[in-house]
Amino acid sequence: MKKTLLALFMGAWMSFGAFAQNTPHRICGTMDLLNQQLASDPGMAARMQAVENQTAEYVRTHAHNNQAESVITIPVVFHIVYNTTAQNITDAKCIAQLNQLNLDYARLNADASSTPAAFQGVAANTGIQFCLAQRDPNGNATTGIERRQTTVTSFSTNDNVKRYANGGLDAWSSSSYLNIWVCNLSGGVLGYAQFPGSAAATDGVVLLYSSVGSVASPGTASPYNLGRTATHEVGHWLNLRHIWGDDGTACSGSDQVSDTPNQAGEKYGCPSYPSTDACTSTSPGIMFMNYMDYTDDACMNMFTAGQSSRMNALFATGGARVSLLTSLGCTPPSGGGSCGTPSGLASSSITTTSATVSWAAVSGASSYNVQYRVNGTTTWTTVTSTTNSRSLTGLTANTTYQYQVQAVCSGTSGTYSSIGTFTTSTATTCGTPASLTSSSVTTTSATVSWGAVSGASSYNVQYRVNGTTTWTTVTSTTNSRSLTGLTANTTYQYQVQAVCSGVSGSYSSIATFTTQATSGCTDIWESNNTISTAKTISTNTDITGQISST
């Protein structure tokens, strides 16, 4: 199934035009840009083949691993190029997008559990993270976000947005930064990216402004507004191909990854699992939830270990993006502290008693201090982490918490981040049973019943002899229970408690019933009507009398 890289590109060139003309769905302009570059730069195919050769050797000598051994942090600069106010997205939206990138690439995304069980074993934490640049190419402090209002109403895949002279903004050094341009794109294109081996002056990713956001803070380009356009395009920038191999439905293309099923063309919307096609006709079928397909943002939730290996190859010896490992972009300039300040705070996996907080990794950090508290209180609880995420446990339901993070570099602590917040889930409530009744009462048993409680999965029934203090507890999965082994002619108390999803409600008010008395003889003189069961009665045998002669 593997082809030479040039053959793959040529096949993609031929198929892209038909795709762009015939579908109203997700449009990624990466292959269109690649075709333009291949046509205008005769040496580009050879450079990209060299990247592919190095990648193949790295993959051959490094086993696929779905848990990263180390974290690679890439400095990011957002270039916001806008014509209207709506296109001038906020800093908060850029940070939300950065958060989503970090969650998706670390497999901390809230929808990771949606990955089918058949693919869970290959779903990967890539170990790649992103931070907003804290210093610019001149060594000056920066927020990592720059803006320009332009007279250009929309841009295309011709890269004009990357040139100041054409109404855009120039790239920062691609050896030190990931450039992300945000603008209005024409032709229905959501975004496009440049593969490793392309020209440095235009290296980076371009995003439609309305696609920028996150699961927690969506953009406006529904159903492509949860930040997954950036996840997809950055995947291209990190040398990933479309999952179907850009060969249409021929089943002969390749994404150069061994753990993604062969697929007959791109998939749109959110298919039902399992989904099969002509290239993979048996279950579990195709991996339409992969970030490198064309499904809706809400349907994407995974990279594979094989894709992770391809991306990490870029940072190995001889890799096309290895220079980013020594970038100072995430480190504040002199006077700003020797250890950077964490940014891009995000929370996920929130329950009634726990939450996972994460942040953009700080270059040079060996560990992090995370402090948190109930909103409105003054006392912090501090925990540590050696990665850029931490699970907080023992929390209170339906409560808002504040948290902030401090990086520690070689024993030197940086400045605490700005404060983030999250609110724990509301505890599940369970109603109280009512309308208690008893029936089928005998000398040794009775059936008790009650009105069913909405959401209850089971019930606890406790009963005792009236006037005693010790309860006997039994359970039921319906709204009635037979009680046995009772004592005749005895009054019992009972009450019922509902259990909903493991949460117990309150016990009901107490009700009573009295078992029947036993039947049988209670009078020692009573006839038993049969000889065999007749009672023996003692009598006085000393009888005297007068006997007459007549």
Determine phi and psi for 17, rounding to 5 degrees. -60, -45
Q: Among 3.90.1170.50, 3.30.450.90, 2.60.40.10, 3.40.190.80, what is the CATH number of 346-423?
A: 2.60.40.10
Which of 146, 233, 266, 526 is an active site residue? 233
Domain boundaries, the chain: 5-326, 346-423, 437-514
DSSP-derived secondary structure for 497-529: EEEETTEEEEE---EEEEPPPPPS---TT---S
CB 416 within 8 A of CB 406: yes
pLDDT recorded at residue 378: 81
Same fold, 346-423 and 437-514: yes
CA 420 vs CA 108, 400, 406: distances in Å: 17, 10, 13
- Arithmetic mean of pLDDT, 78-82: 98
**pLDDT tens per residue, range 382-400:** 999 999 999 999 999 999 9
Peptide bond into 223 cis (omega under 30): yes
d(C-alpha 402, C-alpha 420), whole Å: 6
Could you tell me the pLDDT band of residue 15, with boundaries at 50, 70 and 90? very low
Residue 497 has pLDDT above 50, yes or no: yes
Rounded Cα–Cα distance for residues 418 and 28 (Å): 35
The domain over range 5-326 is classified in CATH as 3.40.390.10:
yes
**Closest to 256 in 3D by CA, of 242, 267, 270:** 242
Active site residue 233: yes
State the pLDDT at residue 501.
78
| Per-residue confidence band for 503, with pLDDT thresholds at 50, 70 and 90 | confident
d(CA 198, CA 45): 9
CA 55, CA 195: separation in Å to the nearest integer? Answer: 13
Tell me the CB-side half-sphere exposure of residue 3, using CA atoms within 13 A.
17
* Across 218-241, average pLDDT: 98
Whole-angstrom distance, CA of residue 161 vs CA of residue 173:
16
Mean per-residue pLDDT for 467-478?
Answer: 96
Q: Which residue has the higher pLDDT, 95 or 337?
A: 95
Tokens representing 282 are 């048996």
Read off the pLDDT of residues 153-174 as tens digits, 9 standing for 90 and up.
999 999 999 999 999 999 999 9
- Mean pLDDT taken over the chain: 89
Give the per-residue pLDDT at 544.
53
Q: State the pLDDT confidence band at 11, using cuts at 50, 70 and 90.
A: very low
CATH of 437-514, one of 2.30.110.10, 3.90.340.10, 3.30.565.10, 2.60.40.10: 2.60.40.10
